Amino acid sequence: MRFLHTADWHIGRTMRGRSRASEFHDVLAELVEIARAEAVDAILVAGDVWDSAAPPPEADRVVYEALSEIVAHEIQVVLLGGNHDSSKKLEGLGLLAGRLGVHAQFKVLRPDQGGMVNIERGDEVARIAAIPWMREGELVNAEQIMGLEEHTFTQYADHAARIYRAMCEGFRRDTVNVLMGHVFVNGARYARLDGSERQLHIGQAYGIEPAGLPGTPQYIALGHIHRPQTIHESPVRTEYAGSLLQLDFGEADEQKRVVVFDAVPGRPVRDVRSIPLTKGTPLKELKGRLDEVLARAAEVGDAHVRVTLQVDAPEPGLAQRVKDQVPGAVDVRLDYPHLDEDDAPALATLSPDEQFTRYYRSQHGADPDIDTLALFRELHDQVTSGLAGPAEGEG
């Protein structure tokens, strides 16, 4: 049987407030075409289908259109719940689409009580052990979590490893056996910071040790980390497919992909191939003084651009000036000499306007404009006078 492994779609994610719906539509159309051309039997989506538990309607439309196209090609789908997904939404989708070959796994179930998804193609059967994201509170009690002690991370890893191994008890020798999970694996590489590659370690996040992954599956399809990679320390072939698009600037220059692999019962997987995705708008960065940045603006084409301007001091309206001349600029930061903490005035001595201005400057690299400062004053007056209610959509 042949499978396509993907993950971390994050449909509904925006780029600094700009919709990326058309990018997601295009890259999912590309994914469907790859699946059709490769004649895959099933697509494995290893979590974070949506970017939030309550995505906007256009995000739902993008997902459902893609699933409709996949089903039209008689390809089955397994959707795994990630930490960004709503379990209720996935449960409802499964009830509606299960008979069409879209299997939604929204919570951890025993292998004999729904935790194992069967994919049938002629006389061949694949058993997919599907383990959605497990929250810390499900494996480590609240008292231990609040203690923030190192052993709580290792306890989570131990519990998660036992669940992963127990789920694989539903495998059979005469079936193709695949494990899906949405989890951090210790030592995995993740987003770059200032050009440097970083590794994730348990103690930074709740996850699982590579040695804790079971050795009985023929392939382990993972989601949660957006950087495509092979986990070489795992006992069997284990891949993070990575995200569909470059979702933020830590992922700039990453080549996104899907993984296609073949499997037959009782043998290691073969012909594991990484197929690059070409759709979506790339992310680029420009750094330098204003004249240097503007001179290089043509280099980035239609990319989403983060600009870091080297200036002597903040200058009102500078960020907007850059955005007017670099249409793709979605994030403008100012790099300038800051006061040492010893020279900066104590926060308690600043007025509310001054405190807000300092915070705004730290986040945006420039002082707030007149309208933004006026809005802050209005909200501050409402709060301090006791008249403010919850903001729209909150409460």
The alpha carbon of 42 is separated from its chain's Cα centroid by a whole number of angstroms, namely: 22
Q: What is the pLDDT along the chain (395 residues), one digit of tens a residue?
A: 999 999 999 999 999 889 999 999 999 999 999 999 999 999 999 999 999 999 999 999 999 999 999 999 999 999 999 999 999 999 999 888 888 899 999 999 999 999 999 999 989 999 999 999 998 888 876 555 555 556 788 889 999 999 999 999 999 999 999 999 999 999 999 876 655 556 878 777 889 999 999 999 999 999 999 999 999 999 999 999 999 999 999 899 899 999 999 999 999 998 899 999 999 999 999 999 999 999 999 999 999 999 999 988 888 888 888 999 998 999 998 888 865 555 556 666 677 877 888 787 776 666 776 778 778 877 877 776 654 344 433 33
CA distance 3 to 239: 13
Residue 147's pLDDT is: 54
- 364/302 same-domain check: yes
- 260/136 same-domain check: yes
CB 3 within 8 A of CB 40: yes
- 245/372 same-domain check: no
- The domain that contains 36 carries what CATH number? 3.60.21.10
CA distance 46 to 181: 6
Nearest CA among 85, 74, 68 for reference residue 28:
68
Tokens in use for 169? Answer: 């008890």
Q: Which residues form the domain of 68? A: 2-276
CA distance 71 to 62: 14
- Give just the sign of the alpha carbon dihedral 144, 149, 151, 154: positive
CA distance 79 to 64: 12
For the chain, what is the domain count?
Answer: 2
In a domain, 88, yes or no: yes
Residue 178's pLDDT is: 98
- 144/262 same-domain check: yes
Tokens in use for 215? Answer: 């050795």
Residue 350's pLDDT is: 75
- 291/264 same-domain check: no
In a domain, 391, yes or no: no
In a domain, 392, yes or no: no
In a domain, 374, yes or no: yes
Q: What is the pTM of this model?
A: 0.83
Question: Looking at 245, 276, 307, which one is the last position of a domain?
Answer: 276
Note the helical H segments in the chain.
Answer: 21-37, 57-72, 87-97, 136-139, 142-147, 150-167, 290-295, 318-325, 352-364, 370-384
Question: Looking at 257, 276, 295, which one is the last position of a domain?
Answer: 276
In a domain, 194, yes or no: yes
In a domain, 393, yes or no: no
Residues 6+ apart with CB under 8 A from 165: 212, 214
- 209/297 same-domain check: no
- 79/28 same-domain check: yes
Tokens in use for 286? Answer: 């420009």
In a domain, 390, yes or no: no
In a domain, 15, yes or no: yes
- 302/242 same-domain check: no
Question: Looking at 211, 244, 276, which one is the last position of a domain?
Answer: 276
Residue 229's pLDDT is: 97
Residue 195's pLDDT is: 52
Compute the radius of gyration of the chain from its Cα atoms.
24
Residue 391's pLDDT is: 41
CA distance 351 to 363: 19
- 243/308 same-domain check: no
- 152/250 same-domain check: yes
- 157/269 same-domain check: yes
CA distance 290 to 323: 12
- 164/251 same-domain check: yes
